[in-house]
Amino acid sequence: MTDPIATADLESLTGVGLALLLGLLVGVQRGWSLRNEAAGSRFAGVRTFALFALAGGISGVTAAPNAAIAAIIAGAAAMLILIGYAKAAHAPDLLSGTTSLAALITLGCGYLAGSGRGEMATVVAVAMTMVLALRTELHRWVAGLSDVEVGAITRFALIALAILPLLPDESFGPYGAWNPRQLWLVVVFVSGFSFLGYAASKRFGASRGTLVMAATGAMVSSTAVTATLAMRVRDGEESEAMALAGIGAASAVMLIRAIILTIVLAPAAMPAFGWIAAPAALVSGGAMLWALRSRREARAADRPVELKNPFRLAPAIGLMLLVMVLTVAARWMMALVGERGLALVIALSGLADVDSAIITVGSLPQGLLEGKLATIVIIAPVLANTLFKGTVALAIAGWGKGWKLALPLVLSVAASLAFMPILLV
């Protein structure tokens, strides 16, 4: 029979040990960062940070049985940190609150670890160490920012970090089709990828930056990537060839991701789904390669791409409104035809989010969808989403430029449809 006292002691020792390790982690970074400082000028090093975390851990362990002792230990350690900062303040050339603040946070991480919240303590300590280690890179990045870029970062933080968490995560509206938090995520994704593309273009150059944004962004939403690139083409911030390459890359990544999700969540649709989706992925990848080759051949005649405002809210809100209309249409169709039109319903629901459609199929009762029917039900939202992205490109970039962006998407759907009769007979 397990001794509860021994178990409690082991948990306390584990918490204090974790506190000590986290203190050593922060202390190693601080000690290395200040290794060139004169002897006696450093406020704290490896040992001191480890001891601050250890004091926090002991305080956390003793908080439940004796809060007064815990407060005395933590308060004394915090007072030592303040005394160290006050002493450093007498040398204005060396004045920096970073080490003192890091020591206070380390003390707090030790307390969290000692009080049984080791996961939070670890996340905070590792995140702080990363920020401290990136000092040079962060300073260089901040020095290179313009007024427009600082304003864009602030506005994106407002919509992603301030507004999004406040929105209710519940359904309302016609047929309960609208979820405020999920709808606002569309705005966050489109505006976020717009800023990511801007930053990638500055960091890697226009060509490589576009591909980096498209490939990484497609892991989250290839629809948002397509909307962002169409918007940049419309405003003259991106060449049509590079936008086409980015859309092809995003579409190929989406299709590969859909194949992997289907293998994991809905294996009943395999391998036929993989064989049908593969031609679309090959066409999308071929479009990317063709666009890159055309871009290299025409590079001498291209005018430099002008990077403008990195944050665009209006197109993102426009796409969100379109998603709202399509979501209501999908729910209306579901109410109208019920399970008889399951493939059509899931196809409509997957217009803006392929992953949710695949997850929906994977969560259906076992045996409800098997073989050919399962393949059709899953391939329908994938192809519908691909056509939807072509519609988005036309709507945002206009017919004159948008048809070139939409063409490879339409061709990829046609390639998959050509293989369906062969595999589903």
Q: Which of 231-235, 291-295, 325-329 ranks highest by mean pLDDT? A: 231-235
Please compute the mean of the pLDDT values over residues 289-293 and round it to a whole number: 84
Please compute the mean of the pLDDT values over residues 80-104 and round it to a whole number: 71
Residue 180's alpha-carbon distances to 155, 159, 170, in angstroms, are 19, 13, 7
Task: Name the more confident of 37 and 80.
Answer: 80
Task: Name the more confident of 418 and 366.
Answer: 418
pLDDT reported for residue 134: 83
pLDDT reported for residue 86: 73
Please compute the mean of the pLDDT values over residues 126-132 and round it to a whole number: 89
Please list the alpha-helical segments (H only) found in 298-341.
Answer: 314-337
Residue 256 has pLDDT above 80, yes or no: yes
Residue 178 has φ and ψ, to the nearest 5°, of: -110, 130
Say whether pTM exceeds 0.85.
no
Please compute the mean of the pLDDT values over residues 274-297 and round it to a whole number: 83
Instruction: Kindly report the number of other CB atoms within 10 A of residue 424's CB atom.
Output: 14
Long-range contact set of residues 291-299: C-beta below 8 Å, sequence gap at least 24: 291/241, 291/242, 291/244, 291/245, 291/248, 292/207, 292/241, 292/245, 294/241, 295/207, 295/239, 295/241, 295/242, 295/245, 298/241
Measure the CA–CA gap between 109 and 178, rounded to whole angstroms: 40
pLDDT reported for residue 7: 60
Q: Which of 223, 282, 289 is nearest to 250 (CA)?
A: 223
pLDDT-derived band at 99 (thresholds 50, 70, 90) equals confident
User: Hey, what are 255's tokens?
Assistant: 């299709």
Would you say 252 and 219 are in contact if contact means Cβ atoms under 8 Å apart?
Answer: no
Measure the CA–CA gap between 59 and 74, rounded to whole angstroms: 6
Measure the CA–CA gap between 407 and 393, rounded to whole angstroms: 10
Measure the CA–CA gap between 420 and 272, rounded to whole angstroms: 9
Measure the CA–CA gap between 15 and 21, rounded to whole angstroms: 10
Task: Name the more confident of 58 and 201.
Answer: 58
pLDDT reported for residue 389: 86
Residues 311-350 pLDDT 10s: 667 767 776 777 777 667 766 766 776 555 556 666 666 6
pLDDT reported for residue 302: 46
Q: Tell me, what amino acid is at 142?
A: V
Please compute the mean of the pLDDT values over residues 378-397 and round it to a whole number: 84
Bridge partners of 172? 178
pLDDT-derived band at 73 (thresholds 50, 70, 90) equals confident
Task: Name the more confident of 99 and 296.
Answer: 99
pLDDT reported for residue 357: 65
Helix, strand or coil, per DSSP, at residue 205: coil
Measure the CA–CA gap between 350 and 383, rounded to whole angstroms: 9
Would you say 321 and 186 are in contact if contact means Cβ atoms under 8 Å apart?
Answer: no
DSSP string, 84-148: HHHHHTT-GGG--SHHHHHHHHHHHHHHHHHTT-HHHHHHHHHHHHHHHHTHHHHHHHHHT--HH
Phi-psi region of 365 (alpha: psi -120 to 50; beta: other; left: phi over 0): beta
* DSSP 8-state symbol, 163: I
Residue 303 has pLDDT above 80, yes or no: no
Measure the CA–CA gap between 140 and 155, rounded to whole angstroms: 22
Please compute the mean of the pLDDT values over residues 296-305 and round it to a whole number: 49
Q: Which of 44, 4, 43 is nearest to 24 (CA)?
A: 44
Bridge partners of 178? 172
Please compute the mean of the pLDDT values over residues 148-163 and round it to a whole number: 79
Measure the CA–CA gap between 159 and 194, rounded to whole angstroms: 14
Task: Name the more confident of 314 and 159.
Answer: 159
Percent of the chain residues topping a pLDDT of 90: 2
Task: Name the more confident of 61 and 326.
Answer: 61
Phi-psi region of 170 (alpha: psi -120 to 50; beta: other; left: phi over 0): beta
Would you say 113 and 22 are in contact if contact means Cβ atoms under 8 Å apart?
Answer: yes
Percent of the chain residues topping a pLDDT of 70: 72
Task: Name the more confident of 138 and 386.
Answer: 386
Residues 188-212 pLDDT 10s: 877 776 676 666 666 666 567 677 7
Sequence-separated (6 or more) residues with CB below 8 Å from residue 34? 42, 45, 99
Residue 344 has φ and ψ, to the nearest 5°, of: -65, -40
Measure the CA–CA gap between 173 and 193, rounded to whole angstroms: 28
pLDDT reported for residue 305: 45
pLDDT-derived band at 21 (thresholds 50, 70, 90) equals very high
Residue 368 has pLDDT above 70, yes or no: no
**Least confident span in 81-95, 213-227, 286-300:** 81-95
